[in-house]
Amino acid sequence: MGKAYLSLGSNQQPEANLRSAFAALRARFGDVIASVVYRFPAVGFDGPDFLNAAAVIESDLDPFALNDWLHALEDAHGRDRSGPRFGDRPLDIDIVFYDDLVLEGTGQPGSSPGQALQLPRDELKHAFVLKPLAEIAPDFVDPRSGRALAALWAGSSERDVPSVPAFDPNVGE
C-alpha cells in the first residue's frame, strides 16, 4: 500500500464532475481525505475558472497503475487529450506525491505507451495545487525540497492568487 496525494480540477460542469470523482475514489480506495474545493482562475490560458481540490488515498496500485486508473476516470468524464496542454477540461486528476518517491519522467514496462510520470509534480508550485494539499497534509514533507507543505504554502509567491471556497466534498457523502 502506498499513500497518494492527488490534485483534482475541473472547469466544465465542475461541481458535478468533482463530486463524481470523489465518489469514484471512495468506491475504489475507501477512505479519502479531501480538502475543501476552491475556485481558482485558469492557469496557462484564458478560460472559465477551475474548481480545484486535493485528496489523499491509500492505494494498492503502484504509481503507474494508479495513474492509468486515474486517466480512465478522467476519460469516463469526457476528458479529451487531443487538445492543447492548457485548456478546458471536465476532469483532471494528477498524482502530486506517492509516498516519498521521486520519479523524473520514467516509464515502466507494461505501462501505457509513452507514459511518463513525474513525482513530485512541478505543478506543486501553483496555488491551485499547493493550497488544498497544505490544508489536508500540512506536515507532509516534499521529498525534493525537504520542506513541509505548510512551509511551502507559507512561502509561496502565489499566496495572493484569488481563491474562493466553493464546496466541501466531505459534506453530504
**Among residues 68, 85, 88, 94, which one is catalytic?**
94
Range of the domain at 91: 2-167
CATH number of the CATH domain containing 38: 3.30.70.560
For the chain, the domain total comes to 1
100 among known catalytic residues = no
Tens digit of each residue's pLDDT (9 = 90 or more) over 66-114: 999 999 999 999 887 777 677 779 999 999 999 999 987 655 555 444 4
pTM of the model: 0.91
Please check whether residue 172 lies inside any domain of the structure: no
Cβ neighbours, 10 Å, residue 65: 15
Q: Which residue has the higher pLDDT, 36 or 84?
A: 36
Task: Judge whether 55 lies within some domain.
Answer: yes
- Is pLDDT at 32 greater than 90 in this prediction? yes
- Decide if pLDDT at 157 tops 90: yes
Residue 173 within any structural domain of the chain: no
Our answer to whether residue 28 is catalytic in this structure is no
Extract the C-alpha cell encoding 81: 487529450
CA dist 92 and 146 (Å) reads 27
